[in-house]
Amino acid sequence: MFIIKNKWIFITIAAILSLAAVVVISVKGLNLGIEFTGGSIVEVSYEEAPELATVNAALAGFDFNALVQPFGDDGYIIRTRELTEADRGVLMASLELNEQIPQLERFNTIGPTIGSELRSKALLSIILVAIAIIFFIAFAFRKVAEPVSSWKYGLIAVMALAHDVIIPLGIFALVGKEATTLLVVGLLSIIGLSVNDTIVVFDRTRENLNENASENNKEPFAKTVGRAIRQTMARSINTSLTLIAVLSALLIFGPDATKDLAFILLLGTFFGTYSSIFLASPLLVAWNKKKDAE
């Protein structure tokens, strides 16, 4: 099997990309939104939007730490420090530009405690999910402990999961997109898909192993796994294709608000498919200590 034979190439690619993602995230950092850091976000729309420079100039005199971005065709998103109600009045008054009173579409203020809570809860639940998955897979694969311990199936599934989450996150950090709550949703979705995907391929290995055992067929482990990858390839690709189609539709035709979500999910689907074909099963073979005639 081509993939198993070249397993180290594929594993190395995944490792390098994951490592690069970690480096990008820790060096460049994520552009955390106010949901995580605390602060205010104001979205306004105009009949006819004034120039960006005009808006910036209008806010320059205040200590709002305002960051203005165009949003949609005729609106702006303004991120600031945490605003009081009085601040908001001042801000809205100064946004009355070109004799237009802007429509306030959204005004969010998040206190710093709420922000850090979302961060810590998201992290805690992801870690708990990882632990639960290791236990579940170890249990589900308990009957195929030979030649690879069922714990390893669980650990590898979680390694694939980490790969699927960290690389899109790294790319997100690299392009400097803002990390909002939707990013958390995207990462959660990737987790949901990633493990499902990995288990399907593992399940085929499990079935092949059982078949070999009942037919007393002495097949090297690497071959068994390779067969499983080949047998599930069509399914992996077809499923990914349908997901990619739906997500592309969301990215192209969907609302601005969910474009970033669609983007991260596309990345997650792509790398999730990579890991279930080129990473998880090859790792299984690589981790098999009994080097039975390859």
Partner 1 sequence: MNRIILRLLAITLLIGGVLLGWFIATSNDTKPFQLGLDLSGGTHLEYKALISEIPEVDRKDSMEALRDVIERRINLFGVSEPSVQTETARLGQDEKQYRLVVELPGVTDVQQAIDMIGQTPLLEFKEKNPDLSLEEFQQALEDATIRLIENQLPEGAVVASDSRDFVEPFISTELTGAYLKRSRLEFQQAGAGNALNTGSPIIALEFTKEGGDLFADITERNIGSVVAIYLDGAPISTPFVQQKITGGEAVITGSFTLEESKILVGRLNSGALPVPVQLLSTESIGASLGADAVNAGMMAGLYGLIFIGAFLLLYYRLPGLIAVVALGMYGVIMLTLFKIIPVTLTAAGIAGFIISVGIAVDANILIFERMKEELQHGRGAYDALRVGFDRAWLSIRDGNISSIISAVILFWFGTSLIKGFALTFGIGVLVSMITAITLTRIMLFAIAPVKVTKIVRALFMSGFNK
> Which positions lie near partner 1, rule CB under 8 A?
43, 85, 88, 103-111, 113-114, 117-118, 121-122, 124-125, 128-129, 132-133, 136-137, 140, 181-182, 184-186, 188-189, 191-193, 195-197, 199-200, 203-204, 206-207, 231-232, 234-235, 238-239, 241-243, 245-247, 249-250, 252-258, 261, 265
Report yes or no: 44 and 102 within 8 Å, Cβ to Cβ: yes
Residue among 24 and 153 whose Cβ is closer to partner 1: 153
Would you say 235 or 291 has its CB closer to partner 1?
235
What is the DSSP-derived secondary structure letter of residue 78? Answer: E
Q: Distance between CA atoms of 285 and 222, rounded to whole angstroms?
A: 6
Enclosing H/E stretch for 77: strand 75-80
* 83: DSSP letter: P
Least spacing, CB of residue 141 vs partner 1, in Å: 9
Task: Let me know: does 75 contact 46? Beta carbons within 8 Å.
Answer: yes
Q: H/E element holding 61? A: none
Find how far residue 126's CA is from the centre of its chain: 12
Instruction: Judge residue 54's burial from the number of C-beta atoms within 10 Å of its C-beta, 0-12 exposed, 13-18 middle, 19 or more buried.
Output: middle
Exposure of 171 in the CB half-sphere (CA atoms within 13 A): 17
Question: 8: closest CA among 287, 271, 233?
Answer: 287
Can you tell me whether residue 60 is helix, strand or coil?
coil
Q: Which is nearer to partner 1, 100 or 231 (CB)?
A: 231
Which is nearer to partner 1, 155 or 199 (by Cβ)? 199
Minimum Å gap between C-beta 226 and partner 1 is 16
- The CA R_g of the chain, rounded to the nearest whole Å, is 24
88 vs 223, beta carbon nearer partner 1 = 88
Q: Work out how close the CB of 138 gets to partner 1 at its nearest, in angstroms, rounded to a whole number.
A: 12
Nearer to partner 1, 98 or 238 (CB): 238
> By C-beta, is 59 or 199 nearer to partner 1?
199
DSSP for 11-58 reads: HHHHHHHHHHHHHHHHHT--EE-HHHH-EEEEEEE-SSPPPHHHHHHH
Least CB distance to partner 1 at residue 237 (A): 10
Find the shortest distance in angstroms from Cβ 156 to partner 1. Answer: 13
Nearest distance in Å: CB 282, partner 1? 19
Residue number with CB closer to partner 1 (211 or 294): 211
CB 266 within 8 Å of CB 150: no
- d(C-alpha 282, C-alpha 5), whole Å: 9
Q: Please state the closest distance from residue 42 (CB atom) to partner 1, in A.
A: 10
